[in-house]
Each structure stands twice: as structure tokens, then as C-alpha cells.
């Protein structure tokens, strides 16, 4: 049995109470579904003094869908996104991504906000305290060298969220809330700017700050999809994943967004692929050619199963298949 | 220590729990319900599956304090006295049990699936059970048992409790 370290569970019932509790306790961490955090705590990767449970904050459970777009509260469960008929119809990539996170029992518990703030992953990091101690730890936690890229000053742990590539492809903006000198602070910006290419820091969330939710622009006949490659077709984190969103107007591709997951420490916009596709008339040859560029901005390292070359190859394969499926589908 | 109240297998339960205790811990160690198995304890294997408000969840990753006011069903709560639940009977009759460690989780995940979807396709069955690993790799008979349970409840020998 792997026991949790001792901590105090706090159950705030409003956002301001949650933020002030986090501000008053610098050793505290927010928790929602707990499906990732509790595992890491059992492995000794986090030892918070308090856990501040966000599930009781009503503002974070909200979902609003209108012609102006969508608001998704951070504590919506992945199964709710997966099963929501309007999300599936208008923002297909998000529904497909939620359906591919871990396994159904974890989707019943894990939340959207948790999946966005997911810790980066590495063979040498996601291990028990005993295992890591026997090796002498690593850069990301308690050690001072990278086991994957010896001599590296930075951590290469892999960005592993499924929903994020889909959300970035769909043009999501993220909203954060913090607590400064007794008052609520808020900021909102495009989701791609939330992440940093650093396996340790991984995003721009400040201590005590909380992800409140996401805003999606109106769907307006957007076509989208998400593909994931993993060791087992259930449970596992992605070895590579691809999200695509685009529109087709008068036979030409428009507003093309292609995002690659799990090949770096942050999600990567495949701008070369997007440039080839934007404004063009799709043919099987063009889609195949565009997919060839999808890994151009990624340099994965050997820190999880299968070789970096194979993961990049599968990125190109998934990208081509997904583009063909989305473009050939009957009008959205 | 916090006192929580919840419904466990149809009966009210009341228990003092620590913040860092998980649901599987209190079920097995405090309440003696050892039918819920503790496998990997890290959310991979699904052997600790219980139903929380009717949905399958992993009790190793749920804080005991979080079930306050909710309804929990474990494998002990399915049978009606000596009368097996139709899903249990189907697993028994199909021989969909080898070492038995994954079985409570498989049976509960199946029960939740059939409550939501009484007539699942094979793909839907495999998807619904994808979070439950059988290390004996006895999946073929497990899928067959789910189909048999679905059929049994359709012809009304005894409907799934819903």
C-alpha cells in the first residue's frame, strides 16, 4: 500500500475563500479530481501542508454554451465534457480528447482544470520515492542532474495533457484568478501562452493562483478532431498526440490550427503544417505533404516508452489520418 | 479527524476519517469490506473500482472525506442475500474469473455500464471496461459475461438493479 503523506484538507465553498486559503498557507496546493496529484503525493513528489479542494466552488462547475461561444468551468469533469452532446457536435476535438484521457473511471473523477495543469512526465520522475532515491534523484525533483540528457541545465519532462492540444486548436483562452493584498486578481489570455518549454516550471501559474476556466470562440462550422498514440489503448498517457481544427469555405481550408502534444515539455503549434494547408484546396497529396512538417518544431528525448524517432513518425501518421478524416467528412 | 456520513451499500454509514485516508483504506481497514481490492494503488489497474453515486470510480484516488453525503456501492452491496446479482451470475456462469483479483472491479464497472446502456455493443463493453486490467488476460470470457448479463436483463429473468 502506498500511503498519502499527512496534510489537512480544506473545503472552501467560494472562489474567494479558496484563494485566500491558498494565500494564507504557502505550503498548500489546490486539488480537484485528485487523479494525478494524489498519485504524485503517494510517490513523494509533492508534500503539501494543506489541500484546498476546489470541487465545492460552484463558479468552477459552470458550463455555458451560446452563440457567443462557450465557457467551461475548471472543475467540470472529463466525463461531462466527453458526454456533452453540444460539445461533441461543435467542438469534436475536445470531446474526443476527454474520451481518451486515462480510462472511464478516471474520466468520472478527473477535471478539465486538472488535465490542463497536469504535471509533465518522465521515466526518471514518475516513480516511487524508493526508486528515485536508489538512483540519486533528478533535476526535476531533489536532484541536480538530468538523467535523460546528461549535462542539461533544463528538464525535458514531457507535456502529457490530452485536452490541451484540442483546446489550443479550437482557439481557447484561459482565465486565472489569484489573491493579492486581500483582493481578487484575474487575468485571461490565449491558452498556448499558458505553457512554457520547461519540464519543471511548465506553465505561468503563480503560487496560490487558480485556473478558473476556459473560453472557446463560437464554433461556426469548425471541423476538429484529436488523435492519440499510446502504449495500451487504455489508461496510458500519450506518446504523441495531434489536434486539428479548420474550416472549409468554397473548397479551401481556412483558420487551420494543428497542435502536437507529448513531443516536448509544452504543446507545440505546427506552424509549417498550418502554413501549407491555409488557403489551399485539399488533395490527398497536399494533406500528406503538410503532415510531413508536423514534427518540425519538436525534438523529443528518450524519456518514455518507444524511441523519439518512432514517436515523431507516428505524429506524421496520425496527422495525415486526422486531416484526411476531417477534410473528407461530410459538411459540419 | 472529521466525521463523515454517507450511504454505503444502501445503509447509512458514519465514520471519523483523517484528511489523508483514501476511500479504499476506510472500506478495507475500517469497515472490513475487503471485497474491494487494493492493487496498484496508483490509479492504473482498476481493481479498487467502486460505484460513487452510480458511477465507477477508483477508490484508491478518492479521499475518504470526499464521500460525505454521497452514495457508495461496493461488491458486497450487489447480491441480494444469497441471490447473486445478474452480473455476478453471468461472470460465474461464463467462467469469467481466473485469479479473481480484478473481478469485483469488473463486475461493478459492468453494472454501471448496463444501468446506463442495457444493450451495449462489444466496442462499448471494451471501452467501459478499459480501465479495469485483468492480469490473467481473461478478457474474452469477461466480455462474453457482460453480453450474457445484458441478455439476461433484457429477457427479464431479473432486471439489473437500477
Domain boundaries, chain B: 2-77, 86-161
B interface mutation test: which of A46, A103, A127 has the most B CBs within 10 A? A103
Average pLDDT over residues A63-88: 97
Residue A331: C-alpha distances to residues A214, A216, A250, A287, A296 (Å): 27, 21, 12, 18, 30
pTM over 0.90: yes
B interface mutation test: which of A6, A30, A44, A104 has the most B CBs within 10 A? A104
Give B26-50 pLDDT, tens digit per residue.
999 999 999 999 999 999 999 999 9
Q: Work out the pLDDT band at A331, boundaries 50, 70, 90.
A: low
Chain B residue nearest residue A4, CA to CA = B20
Domain B2-77 has CATH 3.10.20.30: yes
The answer to whether residue B157 scores a pLDDT higher than 60 is no
- Per-residue 3-state assignment (H helix, E strand, C coil) for A237-277: CCCEEEEEEEEEECCEEEEEEEEEECCCCCCEECHHHHHHH
CB atoms within 10 A of CB B156: 7
- Among A1, A9, A234, whose Cβ lies nearest the Cβ of B63? A9
Note the pLDDT of residue B156.
61
The answer to whether residue B162 scores a pLDDT higher than 70 is no
B2-77 and B86-161 in the same fold: no
Task: Quote the percentage of chain B above a pLDDT of 90.
Answer: 93
**Dihedral sign computed on CA atoms, order A231, A235, A236, A241:** positive
- Among B2, B57, B66, whose Cβ lies nearest the Cβ of A105? B57
As assigned by CATH, the class of the B86-161 domain is mainly alpha
Lowest mean pLDDT among A111-115, A165-169, A303-307: A303-307
Note the pLDDT of residue A56.
96
CA-to-CA distance for B67 and B111, rounded, in angstroms? 20
Contact B44/A at CB under 8 A: yes
Flag if B19 and A38 touch (Cβ within 8 Å).
no
A143 Cα to chain B: minimum distance (Å) = 24
- Among B49, B58, B65, whose Cβ lies nearest the Cβ of A9? B65
Which residues, at least 6 apart from B107, have a Cβ–Cβ distance to it below 8 Å? B75, B78, B85, B87, B88, B91
Give A217-264 pLDDT, tens digit per residue.
999 999 999 999 999 988 899 999 999 999 999 999 999 999 999 999
Asked whether B96 and B138 are in contact (CB, 8 A), the reply is: yes
Flag if B130 and A103 touch (Cβ within 8 Å).
yes
In the stretch 78-107 of chain B, residues with CB closer than 8 A to chain A read: none
Chain B residue nearest residue A105, CA to CA = B57
Amino acid at each position: 500500500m502506498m500511503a498519502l503523506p499527512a496534510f489537512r484538507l480544506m473545503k472552501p465553498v467560494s472562489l474567494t475563500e479558496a484563494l485566500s486559503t491558498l494565500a494564507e498557507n504557502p505550503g498548500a496546493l489546490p486539488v480537484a479530481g485528485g487523479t494525478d496529484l494524489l498519485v504524485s503525493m503517494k510517490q513523494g513528489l509533492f508534500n503539501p501542508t494543506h489541500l484546498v479542494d476546489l470541487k465545492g466552488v460552484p463558479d468552477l462547475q459552470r458550463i455555458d454554451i451560446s452563440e457567443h461561444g462557450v465557457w467551461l468551468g475548471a472543475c467540470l469533469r472529463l466525463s461531462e465534457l466527453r458526454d456533452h452532446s453540444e460539445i461533441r457536435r461543435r467542438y469534436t476535438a475536445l470531446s474526443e480528447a476527454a474520451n481518451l484521457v486515462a480510462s472511464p473511471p478516471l474520466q468520472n473523477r478527473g477535471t478539465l482544470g486538472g488535465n490542463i495543469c497536469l504535471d509533465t512526465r518522465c521515466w526518471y520522475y514518475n516513480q516511487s520515492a524508493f526508486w528515485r532515491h536508489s538512483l540519486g534523484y533528478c533535476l526535476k525533483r531533489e536532484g541536480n542532474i538530468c538523467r535523460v540528457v546528461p549535462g542539461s541545465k533544463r528538464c525535458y519532462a514531457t507535456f502529457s495533457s490530452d485536452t490541451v492540444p484540442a483546446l489550443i486548436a479550437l482557439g481557447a483562452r484561459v482565465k486565472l484568478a489569484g489573491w493579492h493584498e486581500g483582493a481578487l486578481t484575474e487575468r485571461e489570455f490565449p491558452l498556448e501562452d499558458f505553457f512554457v518549454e520547461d519540464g519543471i516550471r511548465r506553465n505561468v501559474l503563480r503560487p496560490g493562483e487558480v485556473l478558473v476556466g476556459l473560453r472557446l470562440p463560437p464554433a461556426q462550422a469548425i471541423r476538429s478532431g484529436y488523435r492519440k498514440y499510446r502504449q495500451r489503448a487504455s489508461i496510458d498517457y500519450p506518446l504523441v498526440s495531434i489536434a486539428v481544427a479548420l474550416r472549409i469555405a468554397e473548397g479551401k481550408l481556412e483558420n487551420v490550427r494543428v497542435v502536437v502534444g507529448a513531443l516536448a515539455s509544452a504543446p507545440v503549434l505546427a506552424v509549417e503544417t498550418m502554413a501549407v494547408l491555409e488557403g489551399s484546396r485539399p488533395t490527398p497529396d497536399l494533406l500528406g505533404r503538410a503532415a510531413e512538417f508536423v514534427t518540425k518544431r519538436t525534438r523529443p528525448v528518450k524519456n518514455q516508452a518507444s524511441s523519439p524517432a518512432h514517436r515523431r513518425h507516428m505524429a506524421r501518421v496520425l496527422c495525415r489520418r486526422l486531416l484526411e478524416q476531417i477534410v473528407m467528412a461530410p459538411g459540419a | 479527524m472529521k466525521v463523515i456520513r454517507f450511504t454505503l451499500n444502501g445503509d447509512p454509514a458514519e465514520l471519523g476519517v483523517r484528511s489523508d485516508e483514501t476511500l479504499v483504506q476506510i472500506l478495507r481497514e475500517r469497515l472490513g469490506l475487503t471485497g474491494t481490492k487494493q492493487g496498484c494503488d496508483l490509479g492504473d489497474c482498476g481493481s479498487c473500482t467502486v460505484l460513487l453515486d452510480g458511477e465507477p470510480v477508483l477508490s484508491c484516488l478518492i479521499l475518504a472525506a470526499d464521500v460525505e453525503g454521497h452514495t457508495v456501492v461496493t461488491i458486497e452491496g450487489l447480491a441480494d442475500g444469497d441471490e447473486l446479482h445478474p452480473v455476478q451470475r453471468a461472470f460465474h456462469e461464463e467462467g469469467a474469473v481466473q485469479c479473481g483479483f480484478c473481478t469485483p472491479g469488473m463486475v461493478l464497472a459492468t453494472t454501471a455500464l448496463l444501468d446506463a446502456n442495457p444493450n451495449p455493443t462489444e466496442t462499448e463493453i471494451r471501452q467501459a471496461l478499459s480501465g479495469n486490467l485483468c492480469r490473467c488476460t481473461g478478457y474474452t470470457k469477461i466480455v462474453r459475461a457482460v453480453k450474457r448479463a445484458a441478455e439476461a436483463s433484457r429477457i427479464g429473468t431479473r432486471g439489473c438493479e437500477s
